[in-house]
Amino acid sequence: MRLKVAINGYGTIGKRVADAIALQDDMEVVGVTKTKPDFEAKMASMKFDLYLAKKDGAELFEKAGIETCGFLEDLLGKADIVVDCSPDKVGAENKKIYERLGIKAIFQGGEKKDVAEISFNALANYDQAKNRRFVRVVSCNTTALTRLIYQLKTNFKIGRVRATILRRISDPKEDKKGLMNAIMPDPIALPSHHAKDVKTVLPDVDIVTTAFKLPTTLMHVHSLSIELKEKVSREDVVTVLEKEPRIMLVSEADGFTSTAKIIEFAREFRARNDLFENVVWLESIAIDGNDLFVTQAVHQEAIVVPENIDAIRAIFGVEKKLSIEKTNRSLRIGEKNF
Ligand code: NAD
């Protein structure tokens, strides 16, 4: 049986999740929604059945010569599950429709945690999502923090985690006026919300985060310091991180000197220069006394894509290992580590 998946909201995350679903042998995209008849809607209609996210605007699509197959509710009637990739806080509004129609749904990290029964990361709490109706895939920053911390905490005894998050101001496609020549502590009063969000998946981690917005669009960067509660060598840490396909180690010695170089590599390596993995700089892994230091880069547009695929399978009761291996294989995760 192939699961029929609807995508509500075909933007940065929605288009990537749709393409990733199209690569799976156990699920298919039954349709996607758009709100405006722009070039993105035209391109979406060339790949997938296109539906209107809202009741108004049908004549605008018609005028633009974009064929549509109906409204959101028509699409939901054909689907087993909907992945909501609408803008921040819109998912909570859409949930009322999903509840009324009795359809299962996955939400994204821009929604509050109470939009769903659980917040999800495939490595950290896959089994808790099994057979649920509403699941929230945590944000790009939280996904990256959770993956890294989970991998360390399942292999070593760790204590407090302190992380500084350097956030890209917007995605590359955004052309609204942005932060041009400044670095903004966000928030200025500590802590940032990311620590609280990590705890929605890993409740027992002692974590405090600070965050800054920077005038860049390529990637986020995280600088972490993690207390080690047992004797661990740098090599032990490298070995443990190397073992996890969703963590990619790159080296300054290979020319990976900045996020610009990582994205240049990704342009050669993957469609849309998508990096689904946490990208950890090998040389940044260092131990001083009881403190482990790690710096990682996070491709915000792509990192949550495999988690969405795994969340779909978890909701339908598929085993964790099977799902993660299938997702990794189809998206070529872990294929090429530097
Ligand atoms: P986006 O703005 O690129 O895409 C959102 C899409 O939803 C647009 O195509 C928009 O037209 C459409 N839309 C607007 N109103 C709608 C409605 N009522 N119903 C259905 N669709 C509607 O946004 P995005 O960056 O893809 O973010 C989507 C979600 O994913 C948010 O919760 C966000 O926080 C989360 N997220 C974003 C990133 C990122 O870096 N972009 C990373 C991880 C998670």
Dist. CA 265 → ligand 1 center (Å): 26
* Catalytic residue ranges: 140
Half-sphere exposure of 111 (CA within 13 A, CB side): 27
pLDDT value of position 1? 84
**Mean pLDDT on 173-180:** 82
Say which residue, 177 or 302, is predicted with more confidence: 302
- What is the residue with the minimal CA distance to atom 34 of ligand 1? 110
9-24 CB burial, b ≥16 within 10 A, e <16? bbbbbbbbbbbbbeeb
Structure tokens at 336: 């090429």
User: Which residue carries 């360390």 as its tokens?
Assistant: 152
Which residues have C-beta within 8 Å of that of residue 168, sequence separation ≥ 6? 213, 214, 216, 217, 218, 219, 220, 300
List domains and CATH numbers for the chain: 3-138+304-331 (3.40.50.720), 140-298 (3.30.360.10)
Q: Where are the beta strands (DSSP E) in 229-319?
A: 247-250, 278-281, 286-288, 291-298
> What atom in ligand 1 is closest to the CA of residue 108?
32
> What atom in ligand 1 is closest to the CA of residue 90?
18
**Mean pLDDT on 200-224:** 97
pLDDT value of position 180? 82
Of the candidates 236, 268, 290, the residue with the CA atom closest to the CA atom of residue 338: 268
pLDDT value of position 338? 58
d(CA 29, CA 22): 6
Sign, CA dihedral 302-118-128-143, equals positive
Amino acid at 226: I
pLDDT value of position 176? 78
End-to-end CA distance of the chain: 37
Structure tokens at 54: 């809202």
pLDDT band at 175 (very low <50, low <70, confident <90, very high): confident
Of the candidates 13, 55, 11, 8, the residue with the CA atom closest to the CA atom of residue 29: 8
pLDDT value of position 241? 98
What are the tens digits of pLDDT across the range 248-299? Answer: 999 999 999 999 999 999 999 999 999 999 999 999 999 999 999 999 999 9
Q: Which of 85, 93, 304 to mutate to test the pocket of ligand 1 (most atoms within 8 A of CB)?
A: 85
How large is the angle between the packed helices 320-331 and 12-22, nearest 10 degrees? Answer: 100
